[in-house]
Each structure stands twice: as C-alpha cells, then as structure tokens.
Amino acid sequence: MNKPVPYSDLHDEPVNELNDIDASLTYSYANYLNWLFPDRVELIKGKIFKMSPAPSRIHQKISIRISNLLVNFLKNRSCEVYAAPFDVRFPKESTEDKEVFTVLQPDICVICDKSKLDYRGCIGAPDLVIEILSPGNNKKELLYKYQVYEEFGVKEYWVVSQSDQNILIYSLNESGKFQPSKIFTLSEKITSSVLPGFELALDDVFENLD
C-alpha cells in the first residue's frame, strides 16, 4: 500500500472535484469525510472507486422490495436494516478515522450488533450484505468488494442479478472463506443462516418489475 495521505493535509479545506485527488495516493476515512464530489465514491484499501451512475428504477424497486421484506421480518428484533447510501467502515486494527482505509456503501445490509452503529453508519462487518448487480457495475469493483466482505467476516453475502433474475448466496464457512450456494431463480425461495426463520420468495422480488 502506498503511504497514506496525512489527515491534516486535507482536513482544513473540503475537496469538491474528483479530478483534484491524486489517484496514486492512499486515502483514509478521514480524507473521505471532506470530499464533496457530486458522484458517490467508495474506498477500498485506500483507493478511490467511483460508484456506478444513480441506480435505475428497476434496481430501486428490487432494493425496496427486499428491504421491506427484511424490515417486516425484523420488526421487534435486535437486527436493523439499512440501504444505500449508508457508509460501512472496515477497520483493520484502529477504528480512528485516519486509520480506516475501506469504506463501502452496500445496497442493503443487516447489522445485528448495535455496538457497531454510530451516527455516521456502521463500523465493522455487517451480518448480511446484499449487492444488486446492474449493467453498469464494474467487475473489478465487485471482485474487490467480495474480497473485502470475505476478509472482514461478513457472515452472508447475497448477489442479486436484476438482468438474470436470480440470487447467489455466499456464506462464510468455519475457515473464514465464502462458500457459494446454488443459483436461485424464479419460483424458488431462499432462507438465511444469519436470520433464522426468514424466507424470501424470488417471485416477490422479480415479478412485475416493469
């Protein structure tokens, strides 16, 4: 990793344009907090990734449907559901802003340990992360996210394909590696090892999206 940018170097003045950032340097969450770009960005190991354009209407419908089903299931339970934009910081050791170099915005996440929540989002791995693939998703970005979620111990990671109308689930095994499920398609239902009793029918997610 390149030498991180000292927090004080970008602390006093907000940065308004992505072009003003030196992509060869490594940035922290402390720097991230001062960026006022019109486009949303994420940090992966100190490197900036520009997120895809605003999600499509279909992407939003899928996100809302899944979120609503999760919210209804988790009512009066300890876990909470959050949808993007919502910062999830992944600290290696120290949780200080200047020592955190990975900040992602999952489409949907479920956090059951409320000590990880603060007014800025979540610090530490959510229990469940859901990413909804769109035609504009960057394959390299998706690979890096997979690696982050596995490395930091996300217990379950769902990849939802809006074009193929299917869902693939990665579950963290005892050795700390993701184990993929079969690909679930229309007319099937999925369950979650993280949320016992929760059941999701894919027809409720994908039918009548037009």
pLDDT tens digits for 120-179?
Answer: 999 999 999 999 987 766 676 678 999 999 999 999 999 999 889 999 999 999 999 999
Domains of the chain, residue spans: 7-50, 57-206
Residue 160, helix vs strand vs coil:
strand
What's the CATH superfamily of 57-206?
tt1808, chain A (3.90.1570.10)
| Top-confidence residue, 85 or 7 | 85
| Dihedral over Cα of 205, 135, 80, 64: its sign | negative
Place of tokens 């999206």: 209
Give per-residue pLDDT as tens, 166-204: 999 999 999 999 999 999 999 999 999 999 999 999 999
The pLDDT confidence band at residue 70, using thresholds 50, 70 and 90, is very high
DSSP code for 67: H
d(CA 129, CA 127): 7
Answering whether pTM is above 0.85, one says: yes
Q: Where are the alpha helices (DSSP H) in the chain?
A: 29-32, 57-74, 139-151, 202-206
